[in-house]
Amino acid sequence: MAPRCSSSCLLFLLLLGASGFFQSYAVEVDVKDASNATCLYAEWMMRFLIKYETNSSDYKNATLNLSSSVTHNGSVCGNDTQAALLAVQFGEGHSWSVNFTKTNETYQGDFVTFTYNTNDTAVFPDAKRKGPVTIVVKAVMRPVQLNNVFVCHNTDFLEAENVTQIFWNVTVQAFVQNGTISKKESRCRADTPTSAPTVPPTTANVTTASTTTLSPAPTTAPKPVENPDTGNYSLKSGNKTCLLATVGLQLNVSQDKPLLININPKTTSADGTCGNRTATLKLNDGNTTLIGFTFVKNESANVQKFYLKEVNVTLLNRLNGSVISSADNNNFSKWDAFLGSSYMCRKEQTLQVNEDLQIHTFNLWIQPFLVKENKFSTAEECLADSDLNFLIPIAVGMALGFLIILVFISYIIGRRKSRTGYQSV
């Protein structure tokens, strides 16, 4: 049975992606049981940002959106012993699904399964790997009371295996009772009680849409007076801390108008992976910004060090999930230190991700490997901090030298006056 997509299927202007402009549609799915009564209902919008390898062994970012023709074959109502399943198929062999389980009082989403097909050359030009790729990630939906509709207008994200899934304007009810959609709402934490549904723009490029929540900085002052707050982030492998980071982050985006964004550590969560040779720290501020830092080991015969290899940044429109800016650079060789130690740089540094986006770091302290007892190891300081440390004793030494010279001159003058007075007697 095809989903209902009449007036609720709103035409949405998409971002400018690697393959040009695409159209994304809101989807409304109404699953019926054997008696033709609604048992599972959902309406939402979503988009996928996918990083894939090309035949030339470099990486590109692709954007995949729902098309105008979406089916939901395989969707299942569910019952007390069987999970409900919401499954949709779209485009050239792409599919997405989420399963719901229930208790005596609540239901919740368990796992999201997403399959994208790199044979779709319109989305994945020159892809090295051909065919369907499937990822499974745990859903972030919290338990909802039975006979309540889950509603979340704000943007939410799921990240796994080079794929970022973006959702907004979500309305869903699993295990619908008596075939009637409930009027009782259970809102996500990001929504406020007075949140209004997001109305996607239908004209104007998203980079100039008035709905953006990122405030442009004055053209006469490219950087704000205040530096960003410093955040503390960590990753665990099992019960053991495997990565530590302390840093203040500021983004400088050059578009039609410059955008200066301070990352708020109070609303930013850390995720990522710790591997034997690579470690990735992903920061998500919950609204508009996704930042990834990838570190690698250099374990040659004479060198046992780590360094920053790759940085990727995605800026999203808070209201509708559209991409304002996306940048990726995998040719860095910065923040290097010996394995078993940490890297520190208190002074401001700049990472040039691409010609339109920079990251400014403040009070940086990072250790992506061999963390012991949840503490930073001895730090190797950046050259800028080292210069400062050298200048301080030099300045103190020069001041003491001038003081000694002044004392010596005063002594000589005093002796001369004493001799002159004696001779006059």
Count of H-run helices and E-run strands, the chain? 1, 28
CA atoms within 13 A on the CB side of 88: 26
**Is 125 in a helix, a strand, or coil?**
coil
* CA distance linking residue 245 with residue 39, whole number of Å: 47
Query: Rounded to whole angstroms, how far apart are CA atoms 394 and 100?
Result: 67
In terms of pTM, does the model score above 0.85? no
- Beta-carbon count within 10 A of 24 CB: 24
Strands 156-160 and 163-174: antiparallel
* pLDDT of 59: 87
pLDDT at position 341: 95
Q: What is the pLDDT of residue 196?
A: 45
The number of angstroms, rounded, from the C-alpha of 69 to the middle of its chain's C-alpha atoms is 30
Residues 19, 124: Cα–Cα separation, whole Å: 8
Instruction: Name 182's Cβ contacts closer than 8 Å, sequence gap at least 6.
Output: 147, 148, 149, 173, 176
Does residue 91 sit in helix, strand or coil?
coil
Give the Cα separation of 193 and 186 in Å (integer): 10
- What are the tokens at 117? 């097909």
What's residue 255's pLDDT? 67
Q: How far apart are CA 309 and CA 244, in angstroms?
A: 17
Per-residue tokens: 336: 């290097």
pLDDT averaged per 10 residues in sequence order, the chain, 425 residues: 31 30 67 94 92 89 86 91 92 93 90 93 92 86 91 85 88 94 89 49 31 40 68 92 95 77 88 91 82 90 87 77 78 92 94 91 95 93 68 66 78 66 49
What pLDDT is stored for residue 198 in this prediction? 45
Take residue 301 and report the two structure tokens written for it: 């015969």
Cα separation, 176 vs 80, in Å, equals 12
Tell me which amino acid residue 49 is.
L
pLDDT of residue 204: 32
CATH code: domain 11-206 is 2.40.160.110
Domain 231-381, second-level architecture:
Beta Barrel (2.40)
Same fold, 11-206 and 231-381: yes
- Which pLDDT score is estimated for 206? 31
Beta strands in 11-155 (DSSP E): 11-17, 20-25, 27-32, 38-53, 59-65, 70-71, 84-90, 94-102, 106-117, 132-138, 144-145, 149-152
Residue type, 260: L
- Residue 273 DSSP code: E
Give the model's pLDDT for residue 386.
64
Kindly list the domain boundaries of the chain, sorted by start residue.
11-206, 231-381, 393-425
Q: What share of the chain is helix, strand, coil (3-state, %, to 5)?
A: 10, 50, 40
Position 205 scores a pLDDT of 31
Please give the pLDDT value at position 299. Answer: 78
